[in-house]
């Protein structure tokens, strides 16, 4: 009996439309939690900078959530969101991303030098304008570093959702394991890694666009 090859290209060709559909589903369920988390983390992080007593309780709660096993959280949410709903995966991943992004926002804003803030005040910048024009742009590298970590983590964790009905490329792992057929597993691993690398590259490019002064400083 011939040994099963690691990759069967004919299987990939026949199943490519389904693989593309799983990839698209994976992207949606990985990106949306990071977007939602960033929208929540920005006001929470800014509030934690303004009222420092708020930071430790907020981070403490997020760390407890982050420590929960993702599969267990998915299972608990099934009665609320439904077995085949994307929200079963998106909601927990949003909280996991929050645990990374809230400290990133706080650290980013806190990294703004005091003399820069004082200069902005001396120039007549009101608090909102100072935040938008001075503090947030300087905080971008730190915040985007957190976004990069949250994004790569989210891309990886989506696969676990396949065990409860929504997992994007995770279906390939289950399919290959159940049939003792390595090709879907290899395809799933390669696509998840490529997706993580592509997402990280896009975020690095976004940081360069959003912080043109850093390129000018390096060139000098």
* pLDDT tens-digit map of 44-84: 998 988 888 888 888 888 888 888 777 778 777 777 776 56
Cα–Cα distance between 111 and 78 in angstroms, integer? 41
Domains within the chain, CATH numbers bracketed? 9-214 (1.10.3720.10)
What is the biggest distance separating any 2 CA atoms in the chain, rounded to whole angstroms? 81
Provide the whole-model pTM.
0.86
For residue 171, what are the contacts with CB-CB under 8 A and spacing of at least 6?
22, 162, 188
Cα–Cα distance between 100 and 28 in angstroms, integer? 20
Cα–Cα distance between 99 and 10 in angstroms, integer? 43
* pLDDT tens-digit map of 79-130: 777 656 778 888 889 989 999 999 999 988 888 878 877 787 788 778 778 8
Closest CA relative to residue 76, chosen from 46, 44, 68, 49: 68
* Burial classification of residue 2, based on how many CB atoms lie within 10 Å of its CB (0-12 exposed, 13-18 middle, 19 or more buried): exposed
* pLDDT in the model for residue 193: 95
* pLDDT tens-digit map of 151-181: 999 999 898 887 777 778 888 998 888 888 8
* pLDDT in the model for residue 24: 93
Cα–Cα distance between 196 and 156 in angstroms, integer? 8
């Amino acid at each position: 009996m011939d040994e099963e090859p690691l990759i069967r290209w004919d299987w990939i060709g026949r199943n490519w439309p389904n693989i593309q559909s799983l990839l698209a589903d994976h992207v949606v369920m990985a990106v949306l939690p990071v977007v939602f988390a960033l929208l929540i983390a920005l006001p929470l992080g800014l509030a934690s900078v303004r009222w420092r007593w708020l930071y430790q309780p907020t981070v403490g709660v997020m760390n407890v959530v982050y420590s929960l096993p993702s599969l267990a959280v998915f299972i608990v949410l099934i009665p609320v969101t439904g077995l085949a709903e994307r929200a079963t995966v998106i909601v927990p991943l949003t909280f996991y991303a929050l645990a990374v992004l809230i400290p990133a926002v706080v650290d980013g804003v806190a990294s703004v030098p005091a003399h820069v803030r004082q200069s902005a005040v001396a120039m007549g910048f009101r608090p909102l304008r100072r935040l938008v024009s001075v503090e947030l742009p300087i905080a971008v590298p730190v915040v985007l570093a957190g976004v990069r970590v949250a994004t790569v983590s989210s891309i990886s964790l989506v696969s676990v959702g396949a065990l409860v009905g929504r997992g994007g490329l995770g279906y390939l792992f289950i399919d290959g394991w159940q049939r003792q057929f390595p090709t879907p597993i290899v395809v799933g691993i390669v696509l998840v890694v490529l997706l993580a690398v592509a997402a990280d590259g896009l975020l690095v490019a976004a940081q360069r666009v959003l912080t043109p002064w850093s390129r000018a400083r390096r060139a000098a």
